[in-house]
Amino acid sequence: MALLPNSFEHPWWQAIRSDLLTVLALDKPEARLDWLNEQARERACLNSRGLSIEFIDQAHWSGKAYEAWIDQHGQVPTRLSGKGQWHDLFNALIWLRCPLSKAQLNRAHVKASRIDAAGSATQSG
């Protein structure tokens, strides 16, 4: 993740700048994941069921129902390299910064998917 020295100087980065620069300074993806999990524990990040949030390597995730997985297990699948790694890093940082908001958004996604599934079931017939 090569960056210019002033990549995150704009004020809109202020809320996550310190965490972002800390995690980017770690040279191995596994070290980044370890740091994110350490921070999640220290900050008591919980999902809406009260389960501790844990960031896991996406390679260890079943690939099924992302939001439901987080809701049921408290595990957030995270891409450590390649396409999508930036998206997942920012997602993790927002979990650390705004865990209550992320927990409620996750819960809303799960409820919406249940409503969609129920609607599809009643309309197919």
pLDDT (tens, 9 = 90+) of the chain, 125 residues, equals 556 557 788 888 889 999 999 999 998 999 999 999 999 999 999 999 999 999 999 999 988 899 999 999 999 999 998 999 999 999 999 999 999 999 999 999 999 988 766 665 455 44
Helical pair 85-97 and 17-24, crossing angle rounded to 10 deg:
130
Helices of type H across 25-98:
29-42, 66-73, 85-97
Q: Cβ distance 63 to 54 under 8 Å?
A: no
Report the C-alpha gap between 90 and 45 in whole angstroms: 15
The answer to whether the beta carbons of residues 118 and 125 sit under 8 Å apart is no
DSSP-derived letter for residue 10 is S
Report yes or no: 49 and 36 within 8 Å, Cβ to Cβ: no
